[in-house]
Structure formats: C-alpha cells, structure tokens
Chains A and B, each alone.
Chain A
Amino acid sequence: MSVTLESQVGTPWKKPPFIQNSTIRWGLLIIATVYFFMALGSMDVNWERVYFGLERGRRFVAAFLHPDFGSRASDIKEGMMESVIMTVTSTVVGITISIPIALGAARNIAPLPVYLVCRFIISISRALNEIIVAILFVAIFGFGPLAGFLTLSFATIGFLAKLLAEEIEDMNKVQAEAVKATGSSWLQWINFGVQPQIMPRLIGLSIYRLDINFRESAVLGLVGAGGIGATLNTAFDRYEFDTVAAILLIIIVVVMILEYLSGIIRARVQ
C-alpha cells in the first residue's frame, strides 16, 4: 500500500468531491449558475404591479379569517356535489379498466405484444396533462361533468396501471408458481396466485388516487369540464376573495379527511 503515515501526516485533508473530474465539476457549476441567473432575468417582474397586488394579497389572506360560505351557498354546494360525483365515478371506472391493463403491462405474466400495447396506453395517459385532456374532451363531448369524468378515468388508468404493473413484476414468484403447479387455469392462477399478493397495494393506490382525483376535479371546471372549479373561477373573476377562501377551505378539509381515512385503511390492509 503506497499510503503511509509519513506521507499523510501534515498534508491537509479535503473531502473527496462528488464529481471526481474537476473540469466537469466546475463546468457544471458554471453552467448551473449562468442558467440560474438567465432564468431569473427572464422572469421580468413588474414590481409596481406586484406592489399594487400586495393589498389584494392581504385581502385574500384576511378572507381566510372570515370565509363567506353563505352568499354563493347554492353554487358551492352544486359544484362540490359535481366534483365528488366525478371523483367517485371516475375512480371506480378507472380502477376497473386499469386492472386488466396492469396485468397486460406486467412483463412476467403477459406475452410481448399485449405488454407493448398496454405499456403504450399507460405512456399516453401519463404523458398528457389532465387539463389538456379535459380541453380535448370538452371540445368533443361538450361542456359538463361527462368530460371531467372521462378525463379523470383516463388519467387514473395511466397512474394505477403503471404502479400496479410494477407491483406485479415485483411479486413473489414462488407463491405464484405453487398455484400454477396445482394445475389451475389462467384465471384461477391470477385469482389465487397473483391477486392476494397485490391486493394491499391495489387498495392503497386506489384510495391515494381517489384523493388525487378529487384535487384534480377542483380544477377541471376552469376549462368547462364540471366541478367546483367553475364556481372558483367565477369568484376569482369577481375578486370575491371571501367566497374563494370558503371554497379553498372546503377543498383542504376534504383532502385532509381523505388522507386521514386512507391512512386508516392502508394501515388495516397491510
């Protein structure tokens, strides 16, 4: 070993850098810094406008102290109902469709052509932003909750099928093989060998997706796809911050309840 105590004592010690090559290290640092300041420069902030806005910001914050649930109560109620309905139906339909797709997208149980088709569906669903999908669906199916329902179902498929397929690919092979060895049919094999292993994850993911779908349903209204978003948008346009605060508080509380429930349910199934 060439390292000896004599050669080391008296020499300063420095932590070995994360990137060994000093040219690359400094290069990356400089690029990152330059980019950072260019990006900041492109922000182009109109500070005067921001200054004027502060007053509105203060009013908005103050509105949270006295939210106005009353004056638009019927709009809020209707919007919330619509959001909840869209959330529930789309989650159910999305899950139902994503289970077969997840089975198809798991390389260890699906033949290659099926695998490719299912993976393609998943990629498409994941790559498209919900809002963009909603715009297209509104253009095709008209305004209303149907477009929102379809959007959320579509988004659920990409999310759930991908994570579920990964879970299936990670499952314990021995258990599944043991069931196959009994001479079961393919469906029986899925039912007894695969399903028990992925069930806890499926339930956990479904509830998580329910939560996401609710949050998403709150914005779909901005593009006319139903739900509380439309009411929210109107309130913003009229600068009715009290109503905005009321709606946002409701959303926050519902999300908190959903998260609390999902915590309980996930703890129970695992």
Chain B
Amino acid sequence: MPINDKNGVKVWQVRDRNSQLIRWAMWMAAGIIFYVSWMKISDQTTWFFVYDAPRIAADIGGRAFPPRWSYISQLGKPIWDTLNIATLGTFFALCMAVPIAFLAARNTTPSKLFIRPIALLIIVSTRSINSLIWALLLVSIIGPGVFAGMVAISIRSIGFCAKLLYEAIEEIDENQVEAITATGATRWQTMVFGIVPQILPAFAGIAVFRWDINIRESTVLGLVGAGGIGLQLQSSLNTLAWPQVSLILAVILVAVVIGEWVSAKVRGAII
C-alpha cells in the first residue's frame, strides 16, 4: 500500500505513482481513439439529414399508422417459411455440430494434433460470419429461396452450437467416464453411457437457445432473397408501403416474443 510523505503528512493512496500514471495514460489513449473514431463518423454524416431526422421520423411514423391489417392474409405463408427455416436449420446444424464438438473437445478428440485444429477451424469460421452473409453467399450459389435460407442458418449455427457443446464436453466429470471404462466397455459404449448422459441437459439447452436466436435471424434473411417474411419486408420497403412495413414489424415482434416464450418454457421443463 503506497503511502506518500507530503510535507511530513502521510497520505494514503490506492495506487502508487507509476501505476496511477499508466492508468491515466490508458484512459487518455482510449479517449483519443474514441474521439478520432467519432470524427470519422461525423465526417461521413450529412448533418443536415440528422437535424431533419425528428421530422422524417414523425413523417414515417405518420405514414406507417395505422398498419394495413388486411395485408396479414398474405403473411401466413412467409411466417410458416420463417418458422421452417429456423427449425430445420437448427435441426441440421445440431446433426453436424455434435460430431464436430466431439472432435474438438480435448478429452474426446481422436487426435489433438490434426483433427482438433480442423474442428476448431470449422467452428471459428462458421460462427465468425453472420447468417445474413452466409445467406448472401448461398443465394448466389444455389439461387434464391427458402432452401438457401435454411442452409445459411444451419451453417451459421454449426459453429455456435459446436463451441458451446465442446465446452460442455470438456467440463464433464471424468470419474464417471473412468468407471464405465473400467467395466471393459468399448470406446463407443463409454461415450453412450459415460459422456452422453452428462452433456444431454447442456445439449437440450443449446438447441433451444439457438432455435430462439434462429427465429430472430430468419426473419431478416428475406432481405437478401433467402426466403421467409423478410422478402415481404424488402418489397414493402422498396415500394415505400409503410403501413405494410409496420404490420410486418409487428408480426415479427410477436413471432420473436412467442419464440422466446416457447424456448424459456422448454428450457424450464428440461432443466
């Protein structure tokens, strides 16, 4: 504890002089970085539009209300598609994430030197890239539609699910696995009896959690042509049909809330 002697009076401080200086320098640097960044944004902003923003917002708001309720009859199919994209996407993602997670976990991988890095690379690269970018890519490869959206959602979810799952595998109680090994069980039997029961709750939690996220993400995939309710949103925006936009946003909001509610219920039932 640094105590300075100032004119014969002992002064207590939390930090000594040097660490105090370093802290100040770091705060200064952070402040400067923030300021420079902000100036960059400011340079590229047409401030005239921003000053005008309240008026524009009020204008859009005025046009958007009341929503065009009759349009809802055309939203049934898109919502159904959105749900399917999210659910099937999660399903197929889990099918691939499980083996990858086992290959990536330190205690179950067959080879730490070769296979584990490959599995980790798959995990990192699939989860670094947003599902909207995957959708963009898949639309340009296999053409627009619900299928591209579903594939995009599942690719994005592989890395996410596999990462959480392999962390769960690495945290299991090795004693239980050892006990099963000691009975003379084969590698696969040990997996089924010793490891799987331990990670099953984590697996279920991850599945539901990701499904909830996927519902949100699949609502916007249509913006790049990958199916679902986003398609309607895109075309309504293009034609500046604000009453339809507000209705679509309301529907999306309801879908998201229901999705969150369902996933919370299921998680509660499992754990």
Contact = CB atoms under 8 A, between A and B. Distances in A.
A85 B34 CA distance: 8
Contact of B50 (A86, A142, A226): A142
A244 B143 contact: no
What 8 pairs across the A-B complex have the smallest Cβ distances?
Answer: A142-B49, A255-B128, A53-B142, A39-B84, A85-B37, A49-B143, A146-B45, A53-B141
Interface of B: 30, 33-34, 37-38, 40-42, 44-46, 49-50, 53, 56-57, 60, 80-81, 83-84, 87-88, 91, 124-125, 128-130, 132-133, 136-137, 140-143, 145-147, 150, 216-217, 219-220, 223-224, 233, 237, 249, 252-253, 256-257
Contact of A60 (B57, B87, B137): B137
Contacts of B46: 142, 144
Given A54-B141, A252-B124, 17 more contacts: A42-B84, A53-B141, A57-B142, A82-B40, A86-B41, A129-B217, A129-B252, A140-B56, A142-B49, A146-B41, A146-B44, A218-B129, A222-B132, A223-B223, A244-B137, A248-B133, A252-B125
Interface string A40-76: 1011111001100110110010000000000000000
A186 interface: no
Nearest to B31: A92
Given A132-B252, A226-B44, A252-B124, A53 B87 contact: no
A44 B220 contact: no
A132 B137 contact: no
Contacts of B56: 139-140
B153 to A, nearest CB: 12
Interface stretch (A98-106, A113-121, A193-201, A232-240): A232-240
A222 B224 contact: yes
A42 B146 contact: yes
A251 B129 contact: yes
A140 B143 contact: no
A128 interface: yes
Contact of A127 (B83, B224, B256): B256
Contact of B141 (A56, A82, A86, A145): A56
B130 A218 contact: yes
B123 to A, nearest CB: 11
Contacts of A108: none
Interface secondary structure of A, over-half rule: helix
A219 B133 contact: yes
A39 B85 CA distance: 8
B244 to A, nearest CB: 14
A222 B227 CA distance: 16
A129 B256 CA distance: 9
A236 B216 CA distance: 24
A242 interface: no
Given A43-B146, A127-B256, A219-B133, A236 B140 contact: yes
A42 to B, nearest CB: 5
A175 to B, nearest CB: 18
Contacts of A92: 30, 34
A45 B130 contact: no
A226 B33 CA distance: 19
19 contacts: A36-B91, A43-B146, A44-B146, A44-B147, A46-B145, A60-B137, A89-B38, A92-B30, A129-B217, A129-B219, A132-B219, A140-B53, A141-B49, A142-B50, A144-B41, A145-B44, A146-B44, A226-B44, A252-B125
